[in-house]
Chain A
């Protein structure tokens, strides 16, 4: 009854539905988390009225955004204007494919997982440029141009720091990268160069996802809301969701490459300790690490002032890029000489 084609189709449908489900659930959780983290840092309570301890706040917000009118301004390029949020969302969803959420649990085990992620995440900038250009609004245009310059620049550093792990592992496959960390995460095994590339990765992805202190694309005090100034209702919500999902994805990639993904924390020959660690489910390891990194990125946002556009580009081209290039050479030397643990 089940020929391979049918099985394949059903598998695809299940995968698609679960990605959409995860997408929505993560959006709700992350928005609530952001608001709670912000409130905690800003000595206030945050959402605490809707549902137990304000848990349903983002659900209520979603309902509000769904029933709001999604306006399309008169002077805008209507096709591109309406297409842009879907591209943003599509990119975020596509990026979920190769990520291993738990042991042996991923949607698509491809042998070029890391390359796929870096390639697909570059498409994000197109949706932002499209939104900024099609809005026919000067603030949007400036936000989009800033964002374009920023994402294209910081992709280099992010890519180079991802490459250090690829060099150490010798594989682009996410599964291989995680398995290589069975006896210790790269951040511990790789000496200081991997630590440097981890720091650069966190800075670069914060910039790539347009998060403060690199939120120039939507700098509120300068450009009102940047590229999504003209968006309202669900179209705005898709950008908003895509931003949070992107944060989740880059943190998941960071956790996978540097912190071992779902791999539990093991210390050399401590059999008993390692055994206890193995009892913690792999999904908890993965989500724990990812949410820790998300917390760090939220921490940045609520602590730092924003950079200026020239300072932002200086930071990338004058500091991060040369450092990460040199760092890549160091890591290559370490990998060839087998100096890592």
Chain B
């Protein structure tokens, strides 16, 4: 009988959030043990969107497998591609032209802004405010237009190839990016007016979903979720790749460790991304956009690991090569999976309404967790 009505022997209610639920933004399944409105335990169940991308990559050549990774964290497709391209280039010991590196960084930062904007809208929607979602999408659309012109796609761009880029920039690229920067600088203040300063919003976020620095380290939280707890983990600063060591930007750290801290990290990070783009947009060097590579790529026998900072945290690509045209084994260290594992610790003792505020600030993209 107890099983039937879904309670534990202590009389706590067990409730299934997902796999079809508006707050999980995908097919995440959370089994929540509730005492009234208070959360006692959160148990994520994964696997609903598992496509075995890692296994698929083993049968794809080094040119092909990059495009599958656009489907992992679809909101930072460029950055995923970047990680894979870097790993192959490291193995091949290909020198990427300066022009391609600069363009890659600009594209990465544009992707980061687009991703954070979508997060901002979805975050506000989880909290119960619908309007910000549309405002965020208005600006995100501008980035998508820029991407569409240069890469030919809006979501899964497939623009990076080992050795550089697939095509050169669209002639209007610089003009459009500059126009976007001018527009976005005004809009980000509008975001603050709409949501950040709202008393209800601050009350919903402050002190909610606390994650200590120690817990952040032990769960492997990276990206804004880790930096909200004061953990310095920005790969762009710690292990610079492309031209990140040549541009000026700050690593955003907040020490409170609550949802508001993680929220503020992302908001401030968008401003830093703008700063990086501003430095680079007028200084794109002339030259080739792609290095000369062989038609068929073969990585030497060995193990290769590269990592990049995606919009959600550290993405690691680990390739084991046996010297063939396809990887022998491939493994992605995705940020979403580690960040999700901290949810239980964060949520215990909180209210059911807090859960969406926590999940929102973890910025989960389910295909990134399941792969």
Question: Does the CB pair A304–B353 fall under 8 Å?
Answer: no
Q: Mark B6-23, 1 if CB is under 8 A from A, else 0.
A: 100000010100000111
List the B residue with the shortest CB-CB distance to A213.
B200
Across the interface, do A305 and B200 meet the contact criterion of CB distance under 8 Å?
yes
Q: Report yes or no: A222 in contact with B352, Cβ–Cβ below 8 A.
A: yes
Taking a contact as CB atoms under 8 Å apart, the answer to whether B128 and A305 are in contact is yes
- The answer to whether A142 has its CB under 8 Å from any CB of chain B is yes
Considering only CB atoms, which chain B residue lies closest to A306 in the complex? B128
| Distance (whole angstroms) from the CB of B140 to the closest CB of chain A | 13
A43 to B138, CA, bound (A): 9
Is B195 a contact partner of A305 (Cβ separation < 8 A)?
yes
* Residues of chain B contacted by A310 (CB below 8 angstroms): 37, 351
Digitize B184-195: 1 where CB-to-A-CB distance is under 8 Å, 0 elsewhere. 000000000011
Of residues 121 to 145 in B, which have CB atoms within 8 Å of A's CB atoms? 124-131, 133-135, 138
**Contact across chains for A305 and B204 when beta carbons are under 8 A apart:** yes
Q: Which residue of chain A has the shortest Cβ distance to B134 in the bound complex?
A: A42
Query: What sequence of 0s and 1s flags, for each residue 200-240 of chain A, a beta carbon within 8 Å of any chain B beta carbon?
Result: 00000000000011011001111010000000000000000
Closest to A304 in B: B200
Tell me the smallest distance from the CB of B137 to a CB of chain A, in Å: 9
In this assembly, does A83 line the interface, its C-beta being within 8 Å of a C-beta of chain B? no
**The one of A43, A138, A224, A304 that contacts B22, using a Cβ cutoff of 8 Å:** A224
A38 proximal to B (CB < 8 A): yes
Contacts of B129 in A (CB 8 A): 303-306
Whether the pair A212, B353 counts as a contact (CB closer than 8 A) is: no
Task: State whether the Cβ of B219 lies closer than 8 Å to any Cβ in chain A.
Answer: no
- Please give the distance in Å from A273's CB to the nearest CB on chain B: 38
**Chain B binding site: helix, strand, loop or mixed by DSSP?**
helix
Chain B residue, CB-CB nearest to A136: B5
Whether the Cβ atoms of B13 and A138 lie closer than 8 Å is yes
A302 to B135, CA, bound (A): 12
**Min CB gap B29→A, angstroms:** 14
**Is A102 an interface residue, CB under 8 A from the partner?**
no
Inter-chain contact B135/A221, CB cutoff 8 Å: no
Q: Within 8 Å CB of A303, what residues of B?
A: 129, 131, 194
> Do B134 and A306 have beta carbons less than 8 Å apart?
no
- Return chain A residues, CB-CB under 8 Å to B195: 305
Partner of B131 from A42, A138, A221 at Cβ < 8 Å: A42
A308 lies within 8 A of chain B by Cβ: yes
Cα distance A307–B129 in the bound complex, in angstroms: 10
Question: How many pairs of residues, A versus B, come closer than 8 Å at their CB atoms?
Answer: 84
CB distance from B235 to the nearest CB of A (A): 31
Distance in angstroms between the alpha carbons of A35 and B295 in the assembled complex: 56
> Does residue B293 face the partner (Cβ distance < 8 Å to A)?
no
* CA distance in complex: A41, B131 (Å): 7
Q: Is the CB of B131 within 8 A of A220?
A: no
A221-B126, A222-B23, A224-B22 are contacts. A302–B131 as well, Cβ < 8 Å? yes
**Binary flags per residue of A294-331, CB closer than 8 Å to B gives 1, else 0:** 00000000111111111100000000000000000000
**Interface check B309, CB cutoff 8 A:** no
Q: Which of A145-179 contact B (CB under 8 A)?
A: 146
CA distance A275 to B125 in the complex (A): 49
Give Cα distance in the complex from A116 to B351, angstroms: 37
Cα–Cα, bound, A308→B128 (Å): 10
Task: Evaluate contact between B131 and A216: CB separation under 8 angstroms.
Answer: no
* Nearest CB of A to B366, in Å: 16
Q: Does A44 contact B (CB under 8 A)?
A: yes
**Residues of chain A within 8 A of B59, CB atoms compared:** none
Most buried by A among B13, B37, B198: B37
0/1 interface trace, chain A 36-55, chain B, CB 8 Å (1 if under): 00100111100000000000
The answer on a CB contact under 8 Å between A302 and B351 is: no
Report Cα–Cα, A240/B284, bound state, in Å: 56
CB-contacts of A17-65 with B (<8 A): 38, 41-44
Bound form: Cα–Cα A42–B137 in Å: 10
Answer yes or no: A198 CB below 8 A from chain B CBs: no
Query: Which chain A positions have C-beta within 8 A of B127?
Result: 221, 305-306
In the bound complex, CA of A138 to CA of B352 (Å): 13
CA distance A303 to B352 in the complex (A): 22
**C-alpha spacing A213/B135, complex, angstroms:** 19
Q: Is B354 an interface residue (CB 8 A)?
A: yes
Cβ distance B190 to chain A, nearest Cβ, rounded Å: 11
Inter-chain contacts of A221 with B (CB < 8 A): 22-23, 125-128, 356
Complex contacts, B126 vs chain A, CB 8 Å:
221
The answer to whether A219 and B131 touch across the interface, beta carbons within 8 angstroms, is no
CA distance in complex: A20, B126 (Å): 37
Residue B203 is within 8 A (CB to CB) of chain A in the complex: yes
Taking a contact as CB atoms closer than 8 A, the residue among B128, B134, B201, B203 that contacts A44 in the complex is B134
Whether a CB of chain A sits under 8 angstroms from the CB of B355 is yes
A219 adjacent to B353 (CB under 8 Å): yes
| Of A38, A224, A307, the contact of B21 (CB 8 Å cutoff) | A224
**Are B15 and A138 neighbours in the complex by a CB distance under 8 Å?**
yes
In the bound complex, what is the Cα–Cα distance between A310 and B350 (angstroms)? 11
User: Can you name 7 A-B residue pairings with CB atoms under 8 Å?
Assistant: A42-B131, A43-B138, A221-B126, A224-B22, A305-B201, A307-B203, A308-B354
- Point out residues on A near B: beta carbons under 8 Å: 38, 41-44, 138-139, 142, 146, 212-213, 215-216, 219-222, 224, 302-311
Given contacts A215-B128, A221-B125, 7 further A-B contacts (CB under 8 A): A43-B134, A43-B138, A138-B15, A222-B23, A222-B355, A306-B200, A306-B353
